[in-house]
Amino acid sequence: MMNMITRMVVTGYGGPEKLEAVEEPLRKPEPGEIRVKVQSAGVALADIMRREGKYPLSPTPPFTPGYDAVGLVDEVGEGAEDYSPGRRSPSSSTGPAVTPPMCMRSRMKSSAFPTALTRYPRRPRS
């Protein structure tokens, strides 16, 4: 049985009704890529504006929105030896950052996540 993922896709410009969950096969990273299992992804005003087609250089639907995410490397393609499975990795992209998991060029969009930032005290809620 093939591993499948679910990702959100903007099917046309407009409101939230234009978001659709799409199931597809989990792909292996190509040479020079790493695959990151997304644990957290940002959603910002720019993502909403891209979905509405109002952001400069908005992609043409269908597309997966998102600019930033953090997760764990779960597979490494040939030539991406600087990374190893289990390494925490933030990423920045022009999309799709909210594809769980995502494949990306190892040297261009992902970097080491400083250990000091992975362990921080929670502020008490007021």
What gap in Å lies between CA 13 and CA 24, rounded to an integer?
Answer: 22
State how far the Cα of 109 lies from the Cα of 125, in Å rounded to an integer.
34
In tens digits, the chain (126 residues) has pLDDT values of 568 888 889 999 999 999 999 998 988 888 888 888 888 888 889 999 999 999 998 889 998 888 778 888 889 889 887 888 988 887 766 554 444 556 666 554 445 554 444 444 445 555
What does DSSP say about strands 33-41 and 102-105: parallel, antiparallel, or unpaired? antiparallel
Residue 106 contacts residue 80 (beta carbons within 8 Å):
yes
Query: pTM higher than 0.85, yes or no?
Result: no
